[in-house]
Chains A and B, each alone.
Chain A
């Protein structure tokens, strides 16, 4: 609150200076990160950081109400909206690094630099040394002061922004509304279509659940030991997040059998042969010899 009071009086304390430099670095870093990050999600998070830093800046300058609004509305609502849309559109959608417009990037950087230099030069040229401060204006508190202005002098603008918000809400609904031109297909029609297409008649196979992994990303095994790709959902397949654990599973089954046999002291003839995967399962993993090893390997697994 010291910083706030100081801000209200129009002078700056050392504390505010330190706070400013920290926040400025965060804000600029967030801004640059937003522009430079390739994934939209990362950009959104960087922007959120910048906004939070700005919110603190607002408060430091005596705009307590705006700081809170910045956090609640911007960082809370708007950024969530952004993230929501990013999810809707596709988290993985990245910008390719290759610029398609000739000279656009160069010109953009040039213009940006020129503009920044101009703005900063303009501000420096203004020689703003005297600060009135907000102690007088905020005498009865920042929120009552703002409220007095909003509901007296700016009441007309306030009403108009209200109308604007309603219009925007309706506009968003109209824009995203999809008219159904034809009736959606019934289950019966979909089934008939599937028979007609004759690509995958029965239901897709369930993923191979081995109780030790996040089950959905592990494909089921076909009788011959190969994996059934259809058993993993399409999204994961496309992302390459499919985990082929067939070799490992077979080996572990054999190890379990062997441990039991050791305990019972069975002759080797009664033990199951730990067969390697069929030749067709190429490429053969490099750990093929490990399949014959027994206990020490199991320890390693346990350490995993």
Chain B
């Protein structure tokens, strides 16, 4: 098997995640889709690391995880505070930016 299959898997997962972001309305699920996209890119990075024989790809994946953790913390905090004020977790309800 050619390890490039991992890349195909990564691309597939990324696309599914992106489509999920566009389709789902629940803010939490939206966040999960974003996490899936990050994971897909991590997989690609790990595969690249193996491809080049260096550990830098893994390092970047590691940092991605850290940043994702931070992002999730802040994002979920935002969702909670939005839910508190608007009693809804649907992103379509938060359209105050509309003119």
Q: 1/0 per position for B62-99, CB-CB distance to A under 8 A?
A: 11011111111110111111011000011010000000
Closest to A69 in B: B65
List chain B residues, Cβ under 8 A from A24.
5, 9
Q: Are A93 and B76 in contact (CB under 8 A)?
A: no
Q: Are B77 and A172 in contact (CB under 8 A)?
A: yes
Per DSSP, chain B at the interface is helix
Per DSSP, chain A at the interface is helix
Q: Are B2 and A40 in contact (CB under 8 A)?
A: no
Q: Are B65 and A86 in contact (CB under 8 A)?
A: no
The contact size tier of chain B is 35 or more
Q: Are B73 and A112 in contact (CB under 8 A)?
A: no
List chain B residues, Cβ under 8 A from A17.
1
Q: Are A85 and B24 in contact (CB under 8 A)?
A: no
List chain A residues, Cβ under 8 A from B70.
161, 164-165, 167-168
Q: Are B9 and A27 in contact (CB under 8 A)?
A: yes
Q: Are B73 and A81 in contact (CB under 8 A)?
A: yes
Minimum C-beta distance from B39 to chain A (A): 6
Cα–Cα distance between A137 and B79 once the two chains are bound (Å): 42
Cα–Cα distance between A278 and B71 once the two chains are bound (Å): 61
- The yes or no answer to A209 lying at the interface (CB within 8 A) is no
List chain A residues, Cβ under 8 A from B72.
78, 81-82
Cα–Cα distance between A157 and B25 once the two chains are bound (Å): 34
Closest to B66 in A: A161
Minimum C-beta distance from A50 to chain B (A): 7
Across the A-B interface, the 8 shortest Cβ-Cβ residue pairs: A132-B53, A112-B19, A108-B22, A168-B70, A17-B1, A116-B15, A119-B11, A35-B20
17 contacts between A and B (CB under 8 A): A16-B1, A35-B20, A40-B29, A47-B35, A57-B6, A61-B47, A65-B62, A77-B69, A89-B79, A99-B23, A108-B19, A123-B11, A128-B51, A131-B50, A161-B70, A171-B74, A178-B84
